[in-house]
């Protein structure tokens, strides 16, 4: 009787059943997607603000599903994170992105200094043999470690700080760069940042968006840029959509930018070589 009093009653609604069925279906389809190589990588240019030239690109996953069409990452990455599929998925994405970048450099369509950014899940990073996996992918693709930046969201690292920091250090010893993604969102801890090995900070696009709307955000961005400078790190502004934003960012001393103002993520088949100089 006690149990019944304390336990809230959850009525099982039809929409809950529908949602759980959809999740099961999605997981099964994603499994098949991994087996049938349905994942593809789109590249968004990374711009050097001083010269307004492309100096790299961020690889962003897309799922070319036979039934759903081209599916954006927010529709499947969270589930893959939840059920662990992100590990296999992340490995496929890294392999694809490294292979394609290596080919573009070999064909001299991208410069030797081209910087490929690839997103990393903390679940990948915490795998015992992750560093070896990355070394193997670099070796087989022919891409140099110096051409690779791995992006990681700092708030997700907090769960296993010691292990994560060690893995990041090992990656850096190989010559790979580390970027802290979505900086300023979530529970950023400055004392933790001091222990983290990183080469660049990416200012989250929510700050960039609001920079021109309310000037309240300009000091926040200025502070992040100063912080990055003091850590000897590069700074990348995300989600730049207007010319005004590029000018403000430049004036604040931001070196790199990424956003729809310059280009949307696109498959290599649509990448215009004229953009790179």
Q: How far is the CB of 271 from ligand C2E (least distance, A)?
A: 15
State how far the Cα of 58 lies from the Cα of 226, in Å rounded to an integer: 24
181 binds Ca ion (CB under 5 A): yes
Site for Ca ion, residues 111 to 170, rule: CB under 5 A: 119, 151
How many CB atoms lie under 10 A from the CB of residue 260? Answer: 13
241 binds ligand C2E (CB under 6 A): yes
Closest by alpha carbon to 273, among 147, 110, 120, 139?
A: 110
Q: Which is nearer to ligand C2E, 152 or 252 (CB)?
A: 152
Q: How far is the CB of 121 from ligand C2E (least distance, A)?
A: 4
Phi-psi region of 253 (alpha: psi -120 to 50; beta: other; left: phi over 0): left
45 binds ligand C2E (CB under 6 A): no
Among Ca ion, ligand C2E, none, partner that 60 touches (CB below 5 to 8 angstroms by kind): ligand C2E
Q: Which is nearer to Ca ion, 29 or 130 (CB)?
A: 130
78 binds ligand C2E (CB under 6 A): no
Binding pattern for the stretch 50-69 against ligand C2E, x by CB under 6 A and - elsewhere: ----------xx--------
Site for ligand C2E, residues 143 to 172, rule: CB under 6 A: none
259 binds ligand C2E (CB under 6 A): yes
3-class SS of residue 10: coil
Q: How far is the CB of 243 from ligand C2E (least distance, A)?
A: 12
Strands 53-65 and 115-119, by their bridges, are parallel
72 binds ligand C2E (CB under 6 A): yes
What sign does the dihedral 56-60-66-71 (CA atoms) show?
negative
List the structure tokens of 50.
Answer: 């001083």
3-class SS of residue 50: coil
Residue 57, strand partner residues: 45, 116
Binding pattern for the stretch 203-242 against Ca ion, x by CB under 5 A and - elsewhere: -----------------------------------x----
State how far the Cα of 105 lies from the Cα of 212, in Å rounded to an integer: 37
Spatial contact of 165 and 197, defined as CB atoms under 8 Å apart: yes
Q: How far is the CB of 158 from ligand C2E (least distance, A)?
A: 17
102 binds ligand C2E (CB under 6 A): no
Spatial contact of 265 and 60, defined as CB atoms under 8 Å apart: yes
List the structure tokens of 229.
Answer: 């400078």
Which residues lie near ligand C2E (CB under 6 A)?
44, 60-61, 72-74, 77, 90, 93, 119, 121, 181-182, 205, 238-241, 258-260, 265
């Amino acid at each position: 009787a006690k149990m019944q009093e304390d336990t809230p009653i959850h009525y099982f609604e039809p929409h809950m059943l529908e949602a759980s069925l959809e999740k099961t279906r999605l997981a099964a389809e994603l499994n098949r997607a991994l087996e049938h190589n349905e994942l593809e990588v789109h590249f968004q240019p990374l711009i050097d603000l001083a010269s307004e030239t492309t100096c790299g690109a961020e690889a962003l996953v897309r799922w070319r599903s036979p039934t759903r069409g081209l599916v954006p990452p927010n529709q499947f990455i969270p589930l893959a994170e939840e059920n662990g599929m992100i590990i296999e998925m992340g490995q496929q994405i890294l392999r694809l992105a490294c292979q394609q970048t290596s080919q573009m450099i070999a064909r001299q369509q991208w410069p030797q200094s081209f910087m490929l950014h690839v997103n990393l899940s903390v679940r990948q990073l915490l795998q015992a043999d992750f560093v070896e996996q990355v070394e193997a992918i670099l070796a087989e693709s022919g891409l140099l470690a110096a051409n690779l930046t791995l992006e990681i969201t700092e708030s997700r690292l907090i769960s296993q700080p010691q292990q994560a920091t060690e893995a990041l250090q090992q990656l850096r010893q190989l010559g790979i760069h580390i970027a802290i993604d979505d900086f300023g969102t979530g529970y950023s801890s400055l004392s933790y940042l001091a222990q983290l090995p990183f080469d660049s900070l990416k200012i989250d696009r929510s700050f960039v968006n609001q920079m021109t709307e309310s000037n309240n955000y300009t000091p926040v961005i200025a502070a992040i840029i100063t912080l990055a400078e003091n850590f000897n790190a590069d700074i990348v502004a995300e989600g730049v959509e207007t010319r005004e934003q590029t000018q403000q960012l430049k004036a604040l001393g931001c070196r790199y930018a990424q956003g729809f103002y310059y280009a949307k993520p696109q498959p290599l088949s649509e990448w215009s070589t004229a953009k790179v100089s």
